[in-house]
Structure 1
Amino acid sequence: MTGIGLWNIASQDPDGIAVVDPDGHVVTYGELAAEADRVGRGFQALGLAPGDTVAMLLPNSADLLAAEFAALETGLYSVPLNWHLTAAEIAYILRDSGARVFVAHGRFAEVAAAAAAEASIPADGCFAAAGGVPGFRPLADLGAGASDRPAPRTLGALMVYTSGTSGRPKGVRRPLTGADPDTVPPVSLWFFGLFGLEPFDSHVHLCCSPLYHTAVMNFAVISLQLGHPVVLMDRWDPHDMLRLIERHRVTHSHMVPTQFRRLLALPEKTRTAYDLSSMRVMIHGAAPCPHEVKRRMLDWWGPVVVEYYAASEGGGTLISAGDWLARPGSVGQAWPGSQVRVLDPDGSDAPVGQPGTVYLQMGETTFEYLGDAEKTRQSWRGRMFTVGDIGYLDDDGYLYLCDRKSDMIITGGVNVYPAEIEGELAAHPAVADVAVFGIPHDEWGEEIKAVVQPEWGVTTGPELTSELLEFLTGRLARFKLPRSVDYVEELPRDPNGKLYKRLLRDPYWAAQHRAI
């Protein structure tokens, strides 16, 4: 049997399919490993040493995965950049991460060139893939002219920047282990084992979200390490996803609730036109999934829909389809070897059913927020850390999430969790997407505002608002009902489903400050 690990598989089965690019081009394991070696040699020729950082502004592609593996085998920190960011936002991350090399795609040429100039990245550290970027050298030149493997070879690490839903994003940085890049970390085998995913076994992974997200990159990298070909989507389309599942006999993927919504919105004729029987596990997380959406996906796809809760920082929970049906709304129990606790403000364990701050622990995992010692300190309590989520545990240790602490509304001294209201509103057939948050109120401190993205063709206005509020009556206590509803064509979400709620909320608070 072929050993696991990119370079081991490449040496024993060089013609095996590793990546199917969005345009259908097939990259073999031999080709991907050779490309990673070339780029890794190039990094070292530029003087990069273990602990240095490279940043990549690339779409989903074999180029991005090759650059990622090049960083992994040369002991570098890799920072995949969100290509929706502005030049100023990218320049901030380039500076903050200390990136010595910046690799960009010609599609983002204008933003990449401006960001490199603003961050003062030297010209000899800027490389362009596909199409070119003014002032950047061709990526094909990096490490060209030799065929040996990079030396020394030592394991690097992914350093993804937090989404920046509030304040400046921060890089989640873990200590380098000094491990051999040819040895797949045991935690990778363990993590995929949680979902029943074993090496080889005719598995095929479909990557349908941008690789600049932690989970998305990890699922792609681990899949390749375990001999699972990775089919890449560039711009996600629900119809195209169904086609690719049938075409490539996809066995596993990673999705977010926003994508579930769009799949369910397809005409019945389209949804039933494809053979999806190859799918063994459809993993979802990253954002709360409304109950009705989850139930409809389970009705359609069956028990292959598995949910998990985790953070870029580490640790998490998992719940099967059957367990979710028995405990709707739960995100599951702690992973084996992991721990989940809910603590009150004094640091004591909150009673069963009582909301508190969710803390996670995963073995000896440690990390820091690069350049932010105070945020790092506030996130840790002993060996456990929090990302600010509020939730509670039931008698059996199943976790239920309420909301982010930063999103919690305090109105008249009462805590209200927007996610609960959003979940109920999302069940209304006229609602395509929804965000709920607090806005200033002179007497109560905050009042509840709902912003709704209507389904296509729905007429908005006072009549719809009355219908929505009537729909919520009886489902929610009166004090949880929105006091007003606004309508927008589209909510500000990134492609992985993260809602930038601050873009909706901040103008209301800014207006109050101006008034003061």
Structure 2
Amino acid sequence: MNERWEASVERLVSRDDVWLTRRHIEEHLRAGRWTEETFLDLVSLHAAQKPNAPAVIDEDGAVTTYGELERASDQFALGLQAMGVCPGDRVALQLPNTHEFLVALMGTAKAGAISVLCHMPYTEHDLAYVLQLTQPKVAVVMATFRNRDYLAPMRRAAADAGCTLALVAVPQAPDGDTVSYADLLRSAAEGAGDSLHDTRPVAVDPFFIMFTSGTTGRPKAELHLHANNLYWIRQLNQTARFEPAAKWLVVTPIAHLTGLGIGCLGALSRGAPVALLSHWDVQRAVSVMRREQPTYLLGATPMLVDLARADDLTASSVPSLRGIVYAGATCPAEILRSLNTKLGADIFACYGYTEGASRTSRALGTVSTSPACPSGNGWMDSKIRWWMSAGRGSNRLVKENSGCAART
């Protein structure tokens, strides 16, 4: 371990909202749960080995390759540095499912900063709560989306929270008070900013802050480390045995851990392509499925209900589909049977994915609004079930596993 690693460990264990100790970290490393690799390291490796391979496919079919994703995130990081963002600062992201979200997430991490993930439906009240708690220096916001202005609410929320921040508008800034995402990348490409070598995170550095749903009170902030996030991804891959190079279609919001961790980061860590639906619309989803021919679809229960009722979705229209993954609320058995009959796809359900980390990571007595650091065991508290087809095209569903042991 080098000096940067030791400095990061010291910063982590000295936080008053994290119960991890050096002993915990050493145990995770010895057990192989944590490694010195980060998600960024894996994407950089894929970019070097296959720069022209597709990484992210937007809803309109536009493709961002691994080489382009690597370069754009470097430029974004340099642009943040030019705006005064330093390691440890927070950068709020309020973006839909687009490649810009992943560029901003990776670029923020490369600058040594921590992304604060804000859901698109957040009201000014929600945003003010998040901003007051995390105090980001920059907010990256979709200027308009589905005929709604997102910049003005973010400005008002920042004022209410007493938070002074700069705004970056995606894709273009409508006024002189806001930095344009396109201009940010362009200026960095022309040589602005400092080297990223000294700010690139190590595995025990924070990656992002995500807020839970807050079903029993205000949403709780969870601080996710690079090491623990990669551990979750590898645990899921090992348990579910997803095909490594398979294409994913993510239709659930990637500002949530399901869409981000299981879908985007999982696929990209393996060097696979991920297609995104910007927002839920069943006809758009069917159209993108037909065009992209994904191997796996990642959604939520309401989306599965809509797909089960879509008359124009059949196994012959999406012959590539092998699995449907969903999380959140329980899906009615008749919906699962309908999808299995129509598509012949295995169905994989995850419950307690986000909350599992919270249960294992929060010290006793920690207030619910305080960021907590996952310990590396969060996945083992989640409930995982497979509803598998007995054969492609079969009408019979088999409940193959309950719990988190590997399939047999």
Q: TM-score, length-normalised on structure 1?
A: 0.57
Task: Identify the match of residue 179 of structure 2 among 137, 140, 146.
Answer: 137
Deviation at 1:231, TM superposition (A): 0.9
Matches within 5 A, 1:422-433: none
Q: Please give the alpha-carbon distance, in whole angstroms, between the structure 2 residues aligned to 1:273 and 1:397.
A: 25
Give the conservation status (yes or no) of the 8 Å contact 1:282–1:305: yes
Pick from 177, 194, 214: which aligns with 2:257?
214
Structure 2 residue identity aligned to 1:30: G
Match of 2:276 in 1: 232
Alpha-carbon distance in structure 1 between the residues aligned to 2:173 and 2:318? 39
1: CA distance between counterparts of 2:378 and 2:235?
21
Residue in structure 1 matched with residue 17 of structure 2 by the alignment: none
Shift of the alpha carbon at 1:265?
2.1
Coordinate RMSD, CA, aligned: 3.6
| Equivalence map 1:270-309=2 (5 Å) | 270-272=312-314, 274-309=316-351
Structure 1 or 2: more strand by fraction: 1
Larger Rg: 1
Looking at structure 2, the residues matched to 304 and 385 of structure 1 have their Cα atoms a distance apart, in angstroms, of 25
- 1:165 counterpart residue number: 215
**Greater CA drift, 162-171 or 134-143:** 134-143
What is the CA–CA distance in structure 1 between the aligned matches of 2:402 and 2:114, rounded to whole Å? 35
Residue type of the alignment partner of 2:303:
Q
Offset, 1:163: 1.6
What is the one-letter code of the residue matched to 1:154?
P
Aligned twin of 1:154: 201
One-letter identity of the residue aligned with 2:179: R
Aligned 8 A contact 1:105 1:132 in 2? no
Q: Which secondary structure does the structure 1 equivalent of 2:71 belong to?
A: helix
Alignment map for 1:88-167 (pairs within 5 Å): 88-107=125-144, 108-122=150-164, 125-132=166-173, 134=175, 135-142=177-184, 144=188, 145-146=190-191, 150-152=196-198, 153-155=200-202, 156-167=206-217
Q: What letter is aligned with 2:338?
A: R
Separation in 2 of the partners of 1:140 and 1:291? Answer: 46
CA distance 1:117–1:132, change in 2 (3 Å): farther
Say if 2:113 is the partner of 1:76.
yes
- Whether 1:188 and 2:233 are equivalent positions in the alignment is yes
Counterpart Cα distance in 2 of 1:94 and 1:10: 34
**1:55–1:79: 8 Å Cα contact kept in structure 2?**
yes
C-alpha offsets along residues 270-316 of structure 1, whole Å, 9 cap, x if unaligned? 1338522211221112111122222222222335111122331446x
How many residues align? The count is: 331
Percent of aligned pairs with the same amino acid:
26
Counterpart mapping for 1:281-360 below 5 A: 281-314=323-356
Query: Could you tell me which of 274, 293, 296 is aligned with 1:249?
Result: 293
**Offset of 1:233 from its aligned partner?**
0.6
- Structure 1 stretches of 5 or more lacking a match? 316-358, 391-395, 400-516
What letter matches 2:153 in structure 1?
Answer: V
In 2: Cα distance, 1:68 partner to 1:26 partner: 18
Q: Is the 8 A contact 2:172 2:182 kept in 1?
A: no
Mapped contact 1:57–1:112 kept (Cα < 8 A): no
1:192-207 aligned within 5 A: 192-200=237-245, 203-207=246-250
Q: What residue identity is the alignment partner of 2:244?
A: P
User: Deviation digits for residues 53-74 of structure 1, max 9, x if unmatched?
Assistant: 1111111111111011112333
Letter in structure 2 aligned against 1:150: L
Greater RCO, 1 or 2 (C-alpha within 8 Å, sep 6+):
2
Q: How far apart are 1:90 and its partner, in Å?
A: 0.7
Structure 1 residues 367 and 297: alpha-carbon distance in aligned structure 2, compared to 1, 3 A threshold: same
**For the residues of structure 2 that align with 1:234 and 1:278, how far apart are their CA atoms?**
22
Q: CA deviation at 1:187?
A: 4.3
* Alignment map for 1:409-488 (pairs within 5 Å): none
Question: Residues 37 and 384 of structure 1: is their aligned pair in 2 closer, same or farther, counting only changes over 3 Å?
Answer: closer
Amino acid of the residue matched to residue 212 of structure 2? T
Task: Tell whether the 8 Å contact from 1:244 to 1:250 is kept in structure 2 after alignment.
Answer: no
Change (3 A) 1:282 1:385: closer
Cα displacement (A) at 1:116:
3.1
Q: Deviations over 1:407-458 (max 9, x none)?
A: xxxxxxxxxxxxxxxxxxxxxxxxxxxxxxxxxxxxxxxxxxxxxxxxxxxx
Letter in 2 for 1:132: A
Contact 2:59 2:288 in 1 (8 A): no
Contact 1:82 1:212 in 2 (8 A): yes
Contact map agreement 2:97 2:254 (CA 8 A) in 1: yes
Unaligned stretches of 5+ in structure 2?
1-39, 145-149, 384-399, 404-408
Change (3 A) 1:10 1:101: same
CA–CA distance in structure 1, aligned partners of residues 310 and 326 of structure 2: 19
**Which whole-Å CA distance do the structure 2 matches of 1:28 and 1:215 have between them?**
23
SS of equivalent residue, structure 1 residue 50? coil
Alpha-carbon distance in 2 for matches of 1:99, 1:368: 25
Structure 2 vs 1, CA of residues 33 and 158 (structure 1 numbering), >3 Å: closer, same or farther? same
Q: CA deviation at 1:360?
A: 6.6
- 1:321-366 per-residue CA deviation (whole Å, 9 max, x = no partner) reads xxxxxxxxxxxxxxxxxxxxxxxxxxxxxxxxxxxxxx976xxxx3
Deviation at 1:52, TM superposition (A): 2.4
1:222-258 CA distances to partner (integer Å, 9 max, x unpaired)?
2112111111111222233233223222011211111
Report the structure, 1 or 2, having the larger helix content.
Answer: 2
Mapped pair 1:51 → 2:44? no
SS at match of 1:82: coil
Determine helix, strand or coil for the equivalent of 2:59: coil
Amino acid corresponding to residue 56 of structure 2 in structure 1: V
Q: Give the secondary-structure state (helix, strand or coil) at the position aligned to 2:91.
A: strand
Give distance in 2, aligned partners of 1:17 and 1:100: 32
Q: Which amino acid aligns with 2:234?
A: L
